[in-house]
Structure 1
Amino acid sequence: MDPITHAAAGIGLASLSGSKFSICNPLYISSLIASIAPDLDILYRFKGEIAYLKNHRGFSHSIPGLLCTAVLTTALLNIFYPDFSPGLIFLWAVIGALSHTALDLFNSYGVKIFLPFSRRNYSFNLLLIFDPVLMVVFLSLFYLSNSANLSLYSIPVPIGFLLAYLLFRVYVQQRIKAYLGLKYRKRNVSDIIVFPSLFSLFTWNFILETPEEYLIGEIKTYPRGFGLLRKLKKRAVKRNIIDKALNSKLGRLFKEFTPYFYVYSFEKNGMHFVKFLDLRYFNGSDFLHTATAVFDDSFKLIDSIFHPFRKNNNIRIVDETLEFANQSQ
């Protein structure tokens, strides 16, 4: 989620404490700080783009990381509010921190919630990176909790609306999966993944796998529409070079970056190229995140390049030394 939504969630949830809002209220401050603190992993950008991509939504978003965030937030605020209950500050810091990871779990990037015990990335594939409905819900919660003219019984309304909205998104997602399964029932479908698009509340992307190919497409719920964006054949691959690419630092990074990827190889001018495609996001005419591994005629890896967000964004990975150099063309 974007930082504005995280901040709105922290403030909105703090309003459930029963304490009126004030810029000096430690409960609001603790929830707000903890709700945005996990994204301080953006500081990894000072070590390079690759370091950031490897660590974003990592330990800072895990359960142990969230507890550390709550403890540090409590310790910090206890300096300025020594007479206020540290237990209450800690409680609302935990709630704020948990809201951050909970929201990130609902979009397609996901989080490594069980680090350092597991590096698996978890995602519910339900919400956009910025979802205006969530913003309305959290701001409504804040307003209703702090309005003297409204009854406390109105506070459950935005909470109920949020739950109904999430259930509705689950319903739409499952309906789309059922529709695709029926539409391609003669194609021996082995897997269907449906997830929200980058920008539209009413557009869903999908990955459909058959024995012969992967179908990448989108479905619009309003106005209704269906489109295939790309067909990727399950071509015969040179396992030797593909395995080398997958086991390289670039390959390990890409497999950790996305659970849904496609790999293929080709030859050009005596060189062997292995391409990685992140199948989750299709922007314009191509996939949003790609990577390239280059081998010479003796199958020695000579170059590894990650292309996040656009093809001409070249982040070169030096496989032998763990050094990273960014180069944009």
Structure 2
Amino acid sequence: MDTGTHVVMGLALGGLATLDPVVANHSITATSVVIGTLVGSQAPDIDTVLKLRNNAIYIRNHRGVTHSIPAVLLWPIGIIAILYPLFPEANLLHLWIWTFIAVFLHVFVDIFNAYGTQALRPFSSKWVALGVINTFDPFIFSIHVVGLLMWAFGAHPGYTFIGIYAIIFSYYIIRFQVQRKIRCRVKEMIPNATQIIIAPTMKFHEWRIAVISESRFFVGRSSKFNVNILDEFERVPIPENEVIEAAKKDKNISAFLSFSPIYRWELDEYDEHYEVRFIDLRYRSNGHYPFVAVVQLDLNYSIINSYTGWIFSEAKLRKKLDILSN
């Protein structure tokens, strides 16, 4: 989920913790728990700072080790090591319990996004992405804000958020049902599909669709259960030649290929260089595919420059590559 949603969820857990008698009857414990749940709900996303280095490192590592099983166990300990000396009278066990719940919930809800997490590490490096909730979901964010406002105006926070989380639980079930219904429609339209990726958007009835068959890629959109195929590409195997092999060694291309499950490729030869481009098919927007990885190589297959990330026009991509080459 996005940072804003994790913040309101952290505060909501602090309110939910008032149902715990130890928290409710001890003001210092209650204060420390609210801080612990707020910090715990943000801690796994500390790897966002990797974006300051470059996109390749960010793509490879975001929601990776910081969202792993060992991290979920270690984050609460690290947070309490800093927090407990500030509140030595707080109940240590209950502070740990609620901080752990905050960290666990952060990683758990991220699994339901299309981006997903490597939550099964170290047992598996597979990305777990159920794709039923958008990274920012207006309903989930808004209902948390409503709950916080009710708390501010005197409602019991524990009972308020227990009711809100019951509603959210039902909302998740509905989203799974909607996704399943769309998947059935896609299977009817493309019976030879070998993989179907259905990703949510911020709009409840709008979903992105990417499909792999034995010979083709299909890209579409679903609106109110109506599935429209917008683009269709021949599925051409990546050639095994010196240009492609050299391109795959580039850090940006390598990061892209480790992350993207469905993409097409392009290879162009110019007078003085080659250009290899990989295009993720999951994020079609206004007829454009903004998530790409591009590498330029000289005629000796040495890398001149490369880029991976979100680019919404060819002109901006050219400008980005020109900057990197200087």
**TM exceeding 0.5:** yes
What amino acid maps onto 2:13 in structure 1? L
Equivalent of 1:65 in 58, 62, 71: 71
Aligned residue number for residue 194 of structure 1 = 198
Q: What is the DSSP-based 3-state SS (H/G/I as helix, E as strand, rest coil) of the residue aligned with 2:16?
A: helix
Matched, 1:269 2:271: yes
Greater Cα offset, 272-281 or 134-143: 134-143
1:45–1:182 Cα change, 3 Å = closer
Matched, 1:291 2:293: yes
Equivalent of 1:32 in 33, 38, 42: 38
Greater Cα offset, 269-278 or 9-18: 269-278
Q: What is the DSSP-based 3-state SS (H/G/I as helix, E as strand, rest coil) of the residue aligned with 2:185?
A: helix
Q: Please give the alpha-carbon distance, in whole angstroms, between the structure 1 residues aligned to 2:270 and 2:88.
A: 68
What amino acid maps onto 2:106 in structure 1? H
1:13–1:150 Cα change, 3 Å = closer
Structure 1 residue 127 displacement after superposition? 0.9
Q: What is the DSSP-based 3-state SS (H/G/I as helix, E as strand, rest coil) of the residue aligned with 2:184?
A: helix
Q: Please give the alpha-carbon distance, in whole angstroms, between the structure 2 residues aligned to 1:206 and 1:13.
A: 34
1:76–1:50 Cα change, 3 Å = same
Structure 1 residue 141 displacement after superposition? 4.9
Q: Please give the alpha-carbon distance, in whole angstroms, between the structure 1 residues aligned to 2:2 and 2:186.
A: 31
Matched, 1:183 2:189: yes
Q: Contact conserved, 1:292 with 1:305, CA < 8 A, in 2?
A: yes
Greater Cα offset, 288-297 or 105-114: 288-297
Q: What is the DSSP-based 3-state SS (H/G/I as helix, E as strand, rest coil) of the residue aligned with 2:166?
A: helix
Greater Cα offset, 60-69 or 73-82: 60-69
What amino acid maps onto 1:283 in structure 2? S
Q: Please give the alpha-carbon distance, in whole angstroms, between the structure 2 residues aligned to 1:149 and 1:290.
A: 48
Q: Contact conserved, 1:48 with 1:326, CA < 8 A, in 2?
A: no
Structure 1 residue 29 displacement after superposition? 0.8
Matched, 1:256 2:262: no
Q: Contact conserved, 2:56 with 2:308, CA < 8 A, in 1?
A: no
Structure 1 residue 296 displacement after superposition? 4.0
Aligned residue number for residue 229 of structure 1 = 230
Q: Contact conserved, 1:273 with 1:295, CA < 8 A, in 2?
A: yes
Structure 2 unaligned blocks of 5 or more: none
Q: Contact conserved, 1:250 with 1:306, CA < 8 A, in 2?
A: yes
Structure 1 residue 172 displacement after superposition? 0.8
Matched, 1:120 2:126: yes
Aligned residue number for residue 163 of structure 1 = 169
TM-score, reference length from structure 1: 0.83
Q: What is the DSSP-based 3-state SS (H/G/I as helix, E as strand, rest coil) of the residue aligned with 1:286?
A: coil
Q: Please give the alpha-carbon distance, in whole angstroms, between the structure 1 residues aligned to 2:43 and 2:155.
A: 33
Q: What is the DSSP-based 3-state SS (H/G/I as helix, E as strand, rest coil) of the residue aligned with 1:190?
A: strand
Greater Cα offset, 139-148 or 248-257: 139-148
Q: Say what the alpha-carbon RMSD is for the aligned residues.
A: 3.1
* 1:179-207 CA-partner distances (Å, limit 9, x unpaired): 0111223xx2222111113x422210111
Greater Cα offset, 117-126 or 92-101: 117-126
Structure 1 unaligned blocks of 5 or more: 317-324
Structure 1 residue 225 displacement after superposition? 4.8
Q: Please give the alpha-carbon distance, in whole angstroms, between the structure 1 residues aligned to 2:121 and 2:299.
A: 40
Equivalent of 1:76 in 64, 71, 82: 82
Q: What is the DSSP-based 3-state SS (H/G/I as helix, E as strand, rest coil) of the residue aligned with 1:269?
A: coil
Structure 1 residue 281 displacement after superposition? 1.2
Q: Please give the alpha-carbon distance, in whole angstroms, between the structure 1 residues aligned to 2:231 and 2:208.
A: 12
Q: What is the DSSP-based 3-state SS (H/G/I as helix, E as strand, rest coil) of the residue aligned with 1:239?
A: coil
Aligned residue number for residue 320 of structure 1 = none
1:271–1:138 Cα change, 3 Å = same
Counting matched residue pairs gives: 315
Q: What is the DSSP-based 3-state SS (H/G/I as helix, E as strand, rest coil) of the residue aligned with 2:193?
A: coil
Q: Contact conserved, 1:6 with 1:99, CA < 8 A, in 2?
A: no
What amino acid maps onto 1:97 in structure 2? V
* 1:1-32 CA-partner distances (Å, limit 9, x unpaired): 11110011111122222256989711111001
What amino acid maps onto 1:45 in structure 2? K
Matched, 1:210 2:213: yes
TM-score, reference length from structure 2: 0.84
What amino acid maps onto 2:212 in structure 1? E
* 1:288-327 CA-partner distances (Å, limit 9, x unpaired): 21011234445x24234224111525777xxxxxxxx974
* 1:97-136 CA-partner distances (Å, limit 9, x unpaired): 1121122111111112234554322111111111022123
Q: Contact conserved, 1:307 with 1:315, CA < 8 A, in 2?
A: no
1:98–1:236 Cα change, 3 Å = closer
Matched, 1:99 2:105: yes
Q: Please give the alpha-carbon distance, in whole angstroms, between the structure 2 residues aligned to 1:157 and 1:32.
A: 20
Percent of matched pairs sharing the same residue: 23
Q: Contact conserved, 1:213 with 1:233, CA < 8 A, in 2?
A: yes
Structure 1 residue 87 displacement after superposition? 1.2
Q: Please give the alpha-carbon distance, in whole angstroms, between the structure 2 residues aligned to 1:8 and 1:91.
A: 19
Q: Please give the alpha-carbon distance, in whole angstroms, between the structure 2 residues aligned to 1:153 and 1:131.
A: 23
